[in-house]
Amino acid sequence: MLFNTGTFAIFFIIVFISYWLFLKNSVKWQNLFLLVASYVFYGWWDWRFLSLIFLSSLSDYLIALKIDAPIKPKSAKIWVTISIAINLIMLGFFKYYNFFVDSFIDLFALFDVELSKRSLNIILPVGISFYTFQTMSYTIDVYRKQLKATRDFVSFFAFVSFFPQLVAGPIERASNLLGQFYIKRQFDYEKSAIAMRQILWGLFQKVVVADNVGVVVNQIFDNYQQQSGFSLILGAMLFSFQIYGDFAGYSNIAVGVARLLGFQLMQNFQSPYFSQNITEIWRRWHISLSTWLRDYLYTPLAIKTRNWGSFGIAFSTMLTFLLCGLWHGAAWKFVIFGAFHGIALTYDIFTKKTRKKWRKQIHQKIYDPISILLTFSYWTFTLIIFRAQSAKDAFIYLKSIINKPLFTPDDLSLAGLKLTMVGIVVFFMAFDYMGRNKTFAIETTGKPWPNIGRFAFYAFLVFLIFLFFQTDGDAFIYFQF
Amino acid sequence: MNQQTLLSELSEIFNEVLDKEGIVLKPDTHAGDIEEWDSLTHIQLIVAIEKHYKIRFTSLEIQHWKNVGDICQSILDKTM
């Protein structure tokens, strides 16, 4: 069930009315209802995979209770390892089995050893990378004594499967979300109005920006060998805005929908394209994943290797980003994507003091915009690897940017469409910049205006959404992860 | 060694590692209070503290810390 469909709209209206009208006096019934609604939401796509969410939730619910009971530290360590193993085996089988088997066969083929192909026809369960990370972090937090294990079965299962953020995040921490299931939620008009604004902006990002820019991006990437250098650069840049609109749009709708039900989810994006280095981008892009990786992968690794000096830091950073790349998909292109980010972050770490000096010497008014531009260019370059069909295609795409003529007469054929897309992106980025310190771009837009002006602005966004609505709009890109 | 002495010694270590002046730590100071105290410098701080007091923290111990007070307690547990 996609957020930008009529089915979801009907589903949510039913949930919203029942939740606030019939169940408002009982937190327990509300939680049970949310659990059932979440399983219906997920089961709509494929009910068979509900068993995976159930298994992941059950194992972490029970194991966390075991760890929290008075047991020896060694036993607690064994239990947390079992919990991580269950989740990673599930994720590994459904997402990476074919990738590892194929890579293994290819490796042997390099030495002229032919192995028979044993790939399986495995369907990737939607959102598996998101909810396994969410439930794993709960058990690890209990193991680290940062959290008490819950005995509230329904709340915990609802926390793992909470439908607004189940399939594409934000990857919530139990320390933020689980506790919200225990307390009474009151319908709040002010908060609901903010939620509606956030959903509206999320729909704009997805329907107007991502789906439309995506049409041009697909045309360029699908026929990249026939494109001019300019078209290839434009295609790559537009993809940067497509993926941002797509994913940040989903997150905004998710946070807004949760807000309408009285829950506060974490902020997942904060104007990442105005960052001055790749480290900063990762602090502002998919924040729930980057902080997850920081807390559960990078920091433990860096602590373990702290006596290796600078090499330990570089090693932990590289490994974290190689796995971050692999988290995005079971293909070598994602590993390479991660490697380029690992390299950039390592560069950032070791040049921090030098860059500070440069900023002083050059003057920040010149240094800052150049940094933003260079950071965005590097980001866009890595996204070519991300978007191309394979690592090989990405390489040819990049080579073509240099080898092909900069302009060809064909560039004029879609000039109008391309110009419209650039216009949409400029509009999007202008609001993104103005709202860069807010939890979402238009959080306070129009607040000081008279009501009529504010509503005219919202109506204009709604008009754009209907005007640019693509009946064959793509599913959210991050669903495949 | 009491907590006050420890706090002033730790403040010196923080100033040196974070390349800053005037950091005065309190038991409730946490990473969010000092801009330069991020996931990278956190590791550098741990190494510097371990070297200064000739002690070794366990990974679990480090991950339990929520603020400077917790760091002080870990040091006191190991040096007293």
Using the Cβ of A298 and the Cβ atoms of chain B, whether some distance falls under 8 Å is answered with yes
Rounded alpha-carbon distances, angstroms, from residue A216 to A171, A219, A414, B50? 30, 5, 9, 56
Using the Cβ of A360 and the Cβ atoms of chain B, whether some distance falls under 8 Å is answered with no
Give percent above pLDDT 90 in chain A.
61
Instruction: Inform me whether the pLDDT recorded for A414 exceeds 80.
Output: no
Q: Which of A257, A327, A264 is nearest to A292 (CA)?
A: A327
User: What confidence tier does A472 reach under pLDDT thresholds 50, 70, 90?
Assistant: low
Q: Which residues of A touch B39 (CB under 8 A)?
A: 294, 298-299, 302
User: What confidence tier does A120 reach under pLDDT thresholds 50, 70, 90?
Assistant: low
- Hey, of A75, A299, A301, A303, which one would you mutate to test binding to chain B, going by the most B CBs within 10 A of its CB? A303
A161 and A38 Cβ atoms separated by less than 8 Å: yes
Statement to judge: residues A199 and A181 lie in one domain: no
pLDDT tens digits, A139-152? 999 998 889 999 99
Cβ <8 Å between B46 and A306: yes
Q: Which of A239, A229, A179, A178 is nearest to A388 (CA)?
A: A239
Q: How many CB atoms lie within 10 A of CB B51?
A: 11
| Degrees to nearest 5, angle at CA A330 with A328 and A332 | 95
Statement to judge: residues A159 and A209 lie in one domain: no
For residue A397, report the phi and psi dihedrals to the nearest 5 degrees: -55, -50
pLDDT average, residue stretch A337-365: 91
Statement to judge: residues A230 and A244 lie in one domain: yes
Cβ <8 Å between B62 and A298: no
Using the Cβ of A73 and the Cβ atoms of chain B, whether some distance falls under 8 Å is answered with yes
Instruction: Inform me whether the pLDDT recorded for A118 exceeds 70.
Output: no
- Hey, of B47, B58, B60, B62, which one would you mutate to test binding to chain A, going by the most A CBs within 10 A of its CB? B60
Residue A280 located in a structural domain: yes
Statement to judge: residues A321 and A379 lie in one domain: yes
User: What confidence tier does A1 reach under pLDDT thresholds 50, 70, 90?
Assistant: confident
Helix A229-260 / helix A189-203 crossing angle, nearest 10 deg:
160
Give me the CATH topology for the region B3-79: 1.10.1200
Long-range CB contact pairs, A140-147, < 8 A, 24+: A140/A80, A140/A83, A140/A84, A140/A296, A141/A173, A141/A174, A141/A175, A142/A64, A142/A67, A142/A68, A143/A67, A143/A76, A143/A77, A143/A79, A143/A80, A144/B60, A144/B63, A144/B64, A145/B64, A146/A175, A146/B63, A146/B64, A147/A174, A147/A175
Residue A1 located in a structural domain: no
d(CA A435, CA A132): 32
A349 and A313 Cβ atoms separated by less than 8 Å: yes
Cβ <8 Å between B39 and A146: no
d(CA B16, CA B13): 5
Statement to judge: residues A154 and A196 lie in one domain: no
pLDDT average, residue stretch A209-217: 90
Rounded alpha-carbon distances, angstroms, from residue A130 to A53, A134, A161, A223? 11, 6, 10, 33
- pLDDT computed for residue A77 by the predictor: 92
The set of catalytic residues of A is 328
d(CA A30, CA B5): 52
- pLDDT computed for residue A416 by the predictor: 72
pLDDT tens digits, B16-47? 998 888 899 999 999 889 988 988 889 999 99
Cβ <8 Å between B43 and A313: yes
Out of A163, A185, A207, pick the residue that ends a domain: A185
pLDDT tens digits, A321-339? 999 999 998 899 999 999 9
Cβ <8 Å between B39 and A299: yes
Statement to judge: residues A286 and A304 lie in one domain: yes
Out of A156, A185, A214, pick the residue that ends a domain: A185
Q: Which two tokens stand for residue A390?
A: 């394979």
Q: Which two tokens stand for residue A278?
A: 């790749």
User: What confidence tier does B79 reach under pLDDT thresholds 50, 70, 90?
Assistant: confident
From the CA of B18, how many Å to the nearest CA of chain A? Answer: 11
Residue type, B78: K
Using the Cβ of B40 and the Cβ atoms of chain A, whether some distance falls under 8 Å is answered with yes
Cβ <8 Å between B59 and A294: no
Residue A45 located in a structural domain: yes
- pLDDT computed for residue A405 by the predictor: 77
Statement to judge: residues A168 and A206 lie in one domain: no
Out of A150, A168, A185, pick the residue that ends a domain: A185
Statement to judge: residues A167 and A220 lie in one domain: no
pLDDT average, residue stretch A402-425: 78
Q: Which two tokens stand for residue A423?
A: 């216009």
Statement to judge: residues A164 and A62 lie in one domain: yes
Range with lowest mean pLDDT among A1-10, A45-54, A408-417: A408-417
Q: Which two tokens stand for residue A376?
A: 């965005």
- pLDDT computed for residue A119 by the predictor: 64
pLDDT tens digits, B48-69? 999 999 999 998 889 888 899 9
Using the Cβ of B2 and the Cβ atoms of chain A, whether some distance falls under 8 Å is answered with no
Statement to judge: residues A442 and A345 lie in one domain: yes
Q: Which residues of B touch A349 (CB under 8 A)?
A: 40
d(CA A94, CA A125): 7
d(CA A315, CA A322): 11
pLDDT tens digits, A66-96? 999 888 889 999 999 999 999 999 988 888 8
Residue A414 located in a structural domain: yes
- DSSP annotation of A164 reads T
d(CA A138, CA A61): 9
A231 lies in which domain range? 191-480
* Count of all residues that appear for chain A in the document: 481
Statement to judge: residues A245 and A259 lie in one domain: yes
Residue A463 located in a structural domain: yes
What domain count does chain A have? 2
What are the b/e assignments for A340-356, b being 16+ CB within 10 Å? bbbbbbbbbeeeeeeee
Q: How many CB atoms lie within 10 A of CB A246?
A: 25
Domain edges within chain B? 3-79
Using the Cβ of A294 and the Cβ atoms of chain B, whether some distance falls under 8 Å is answered with yes
- pLDDT computed for residue A475 by the predictor: 62
- pLDDT computed for residue B1 by the predictor: 72
